[in-house]
Amino acid sequence: DAGVTQSPTHLIKTRGQQVTLRCSPISGHKSVSWYQQVLGQGPQFIFQYYEKEERGRGNFPDRFSARQFPNYSSELNVNALLLGDSALYLCASSRGQGGGSFDTGELFFGEGSRLTVL
Amino acid sequence: GENVEQHPSTLSVQEGDSAVIKCTYSDSASNYFPWYKQELGKRPQLIIDIRSNVGEKKDQRIAVTLNKTAKHFSLHITETQPEDSAVYFCAANNAGNMLTFGGGTRLMVKP
């Protein structure tokens, strides 16, 4: 079975531009989460989606938005890019439903999309 | 919200020695504590996890301990090997499956 797949793997943008990152979860997984990992730091939670509904949002500005499609794939959009948005964006899928459920199980991460903002 | 602190930030050990990484968390409602290993340029991969109803869990050379009263948990790697060299992250959950990660520990195992 394929793991979590993300695209693009690398991209370069300039300040003020917009970017869309894509993620396909493991087959059978209904939850997708997005994390931002700045070089040298741990991943930071951005969003979680389950069954196409937003279940959680981290401390990120409104320039960040996401959605989940009927096939459970997801997109992360970032508008008005800043230099500080340069990071590895990780998508993770899980079986669980989130929203306070205890038994949500392991997060499986994709290889990430490395965004560089110039 | 949840705050997770991880120590040390770097750890250098001789091959065959043990390595211990410690984390503390702030939210007493957290009940799931995974550890991830991330090699350079790769994705984080789960190596072991523990839930709040268990005090210790072991998988071959890796073990994790949890002290809910003190709100800390630790990763223990015995008989370290060069391939254990990587960055290790602890994490704790909050509502649902949203994880708060520690800042990471760069483990270097010298042959």
Contact B43 A106 (CB under 8 A): no
Q: Does the CB of A41 have a partner CB in chain B at under 8 Å?
A: yes
Question: Which positions 91-110 of B are in contact with A (Cβ < 8 Å)?
Answer: 91, 93, 95-104
CA distance B31 to chain A (A): 8
A74 near A34, Cβ under 8 Å? yes
Chain B residues near residue A109 by CB distance under 8 angstroms? 36, 43-45
Is residue B39 scored above 90 in pLDDT? yes
Annotate chain A with three-state secondary structure. CCCCEEECCEEEECCCCCEEEEEECCCCCCEEEEEEECCCCCCEEEEEEECCEEEEECCCCCCEEEEECCCCCEEEEECCCCHHHCEEEEEEEECCCCCCCCCCCCCEECCCEEEEEC
Interface of B with A in 25-84 (CB under 8 A): 31-32, 34, 36, 42-46, 49
At A1 the pLDDT is: 59
Name which of B99, B100, B102 is nearest A107 (Cβ-Cβ).
B99
Would the CB atoms of B104 and A99 count as touching at under 8 Å?
A: no
Q: Which residue type is seen at B8?
A: P
Q: Which tens digits make up the pLDDT trace of A77-96?
A: 999 999 999 999 999 998 87
How confident is the model at residue B95, as a pLDDT? 67
User: What pLDDT score does A99 carry?
Assistant: 40
- Give the model's pLDDT for residue A98: 47
Look at residues B44, B111, B43, B102 and name the one whose alpha carbon lies nearest to residue B75.
Answer: B102
| Chain-centroid distance, C-alpha B47 | 9
Q: What is the mean pLDDT of residues A88-106?
A: 70
Per-residue CA distances from A105 to A1, A70, B11, B79 (Å) = 18, 22, 29, 28
Question: From B106, which residue of chain A is nearest by alpha-carbon distance?
Answer: A40
pLDDT attached to residue B96: 60
Residue contact A100–B32, C-beta within 8 A: no
d(CA A42, CA A17): 25
Quote the percentage of chain A above a pLDDT of 70: 92
